[in-house]
Structure 1
């Protein structure tokens, strides 16, 4: 079990990017890692691994990790993967880049929804592809897919659909009906799909539905990327995996990044094995605390004039719409200066999101309460 009693003094250690980027008076609720200590079983496994040396490990894929992750995916409904259907990565973001490189060519169009985790957009643009972005619809009950805009965004040059499931930053968990609609869309337009399911274990809606489970036809056109770092708070131990039932698809992506991808470290492999073998008590406790924190943000947001917000169905990220506030044009900088709270700014998540900020509520209730109080006070000044 983990402790949720944390203080800035404990968290502000020199190895924390999150807690050292800004001055000491600033509460950092921005970059997506949690303030909670990792599961004791993971810490114990890492200590034990140090007793066995740190030479080269099984670089072509640890068989125990492959077996454990395969079993977890099958529990989620993923049909058994063929031999070689899982490849390990130094992280999920390299997998997004590799998918763009392997499944498209310079000048091709790539579809994705905005707002979106910024590396989706950089993976498209950094290598000369064209981002065809489809803004999600913001309604009173949350964020939804604009199906008409999605159809209008497709061009003869469109090759790839990049899906974030659960979605970062809105926290939407796409329903099976929505996933079926996306599957039909992808099949109709003969698109490849890369589905980022990094936040799958952080759903408040119940068991995760992998996109690839929607139809057998979809299996042959989909590459899924995943990893443990969000659910188990191990971002400092980079590792991820990409899997597909289509080995030729995996080979294309692997070859496109050959020699530059790198490989997971021995310690990251040990960490993920331990996470998959954990009894689940730590993660259950974390999810319970995150749910309480989410509900506190929801209650607070209802008291803040000019704020629009939909409670996330997954993740520990709150996407706050302050576009109607007088300081919308510099909202992130305003809150940093006046509230002494660091949040993620909206524009990197796509065009049209100035005035939005992303708040990471994976911290102690006390720190969260102080941050919300500061933000509310600052917003009321204008």
Structure 2
């Protein structure tokens, strides 16, 4: 329950389109931009505030992660600080450190209603930097940044003259029902923003890698894409077919899937409140990934190994989501994928509860009596 894909069947409309594509052979697709996919993608992006994109404002990618690396490579130089939040999806800090830059990490604060941005620390980190890497919705905490938070982030980008790369891969996996506001929906920041997105999380097709780099500044898109050149590779024919079918025909499947995920999230929240009330968890606003704080457990120091050995449940270890300077801060946290059947989720939670409760009892048995 660690890796971020869903334990659900793929949408029938997507499977049908893939079978049809196989029957027509596997030659090259339209490398200059699929004439059916592009209008569908532009219409979808417009619902998120990304209107009036120029003709060269969309560049296809083999996935979102290559876009993170390409942006860091194109817009910064070795040794420079790059601003991002922690915890964060690990390719963020890996893109920074693998390319010889420095992580200017800003830990999120644990507020009364969930994780919050430390604005003073963000501003301090932005001094001397040229790039802000934003995850929206945020992985692993599941936050969807509010209009007010987005406005303050935009103000920061303008005041500190920052480029922004916004990973919006989980935008279609929100639980509020409210429309999604892209970071670049505000014209003030469009010329300095690269938006990354793709269908693979929402439509459960991680094995068909594809993504898009989007920007209102066509020159900036070209600069970032061309920096990687032929090292990046390109999207595949079946990936294009999948995304086209997803946008055209798989909307009802996605709506049903999001509703099921929301019910799983609520079930998880209720289970923890009843059976493991010491585990800290703020219900996520998007994604199917739960960020759980188990630091109160006596085995917090090796909690991932403990759960694997004692509960036979595999989860992502908290320190993975921070660069070296902040890893210790997230020891005792785990990220758990709840995009599975209710039966499997229940079994996993029952196993975890038994193992965790047993660990608590052992500590009590060894504590001296006074």
- Where does structure 2 lack aligned partners over 5 or more consecutive residues? 360-370
1:81 to 38, 53, 60: 53
1:307 is the counterpart of 2:282: no
Q: Distance in 2 between matches of 1:139 and 1:179?
A: 18
1:369 to 346, 351, 357: 346
Question: 1:139 Cα shift?
Answer: 2.2
Question: 1:140 Cα shift?
Answer: 3.1
Is the Cα–Cα contact under 8 Å of residues 320 and 357 in structure 1 kept in the other structure?
Answer: yes
Q: Distance in 2 between matches of 1:287 and 1:245?
A: 30
Q: Please, which moves more after superposition, 31-40 or 69-78?
A: 69-78
2:181 to 186, 209, 218: 209
1:298 is the counterpart of 2:269: yes
1:43 paired residue number: 15
Compare the two structures and name the one with the higher helix fraction. 2
Q: Distance in 2 between matches of 1:79 and 1:57?
A: 26
SS at match of 1:341: coil
Task: Give the paired residue count.
Answer: 352
Q: Distance in 1 between matches of 2:121 and 2:355?
A: 37
2:368 paired residue number: none
Is the Cα–Cα contact under 8 Å of residues 293 and 332 in structure 2 kept in the other structure?
Answer: yes
Is the Cα–Cα contact under 8 Å of residues 14 and 250 in structure 2 kept in the other structure?
Answer: no
**Where does structure 1 differ by over 3 angstroms across 4 or more consecutive aligned residues?**
none
Tell me the alpha carbon deviations over residues 220-273 of structure 1, each in whole angstroms, 9 at most, x when there is no partner: 010000000010000000000010000111111012100101001000000000
Is the Cα–Cα contact under 8 Å of residues 127 and 160 in structure 2 kept in the other structure?
Answer: no
SS at match of 1:229: coil
1:100 paired residue number: 72
1:185 paired residue number: 156
The residue correspondences of 1:186-265 to structure 2 (distance < 5 A) are 186-205=157-176, 206-213=178-185, 215-265=186-236
1:135 is the counterpart of 2:135: no
Q: Distance in 2 between matches of 1:212 and 1:90?
A: 22
Tell me the alpha carbon deviations over residues 133-164 of structure 1, each in whole angstroms, 9 at most, x when there is no partner: 000001232101011111122232x0100000
Question: 1:317 Cα shift?
Answer: 0.4
Q: Please, which moves more after superposition, 138-147 or 299-308?
A: 299-308
Tell me the alpha carbon deviations over residues 72-117 of structure 1, each in whole angstroms, 9 at most, x when there is no partner: 1112222221011000000000010011011111111100001100
The residue correspondences of 1:26-41 to structure 2 (distance < 5 A) are 29-41=1-13
SS at match of 1:67: helix
Q: Distance in 1 between matches of 2:78 and 2:305?
A: 36
Q: Distance in 2 between matches of 1:75 and 1:381?
A: 49
Q: Distance in 1 between matches of 2:94 and 2:49?
A: 31
TM-score of the superposed pair, with normalisation by structure 2: 0.94
1:355 paired residue number: 332
Is the Cα–Cα contact under 8 Å of residues 109 and 155 in structure 1 kept in the other structure?
Answer: no
1:23 paired residue number: none
1:325 paired residue number: 297
The residue correspondences of 1:158-169 to structure 2 (distance < 5 A) are 158-169=129-140
Is the Cα–Cα contact under 8 Å of residues 49 and 184 in structure 2 kept in the other structure?
Answer: no
Q: Distance in 1 between matches of 2:252 and 2:222?
A: 37
Question: 1:305 Cα shift?
Answer: 4.1
Q: Distance in 2 between matches of 1:253 and 1:240?
A: 14
Q: Distance in 2 between matches of 1:74 and 1:140?
A: 34
Is the Cα–Cα contact under 8 Å of residues 203 and 315 in structure 1 kept in the other structure?
Answer: yes
Q: Distance in 1 between matches of 2:42 and 2:256?
A: 24
Q: CA RMSD in A?
A: 0.9
2:357 paired residue number: 380
Q: Distance in 2 between matches of 1:82 and 1:140?
A: 42
TM-score of the superposed pair, with normalisation by structure 1: 0.91
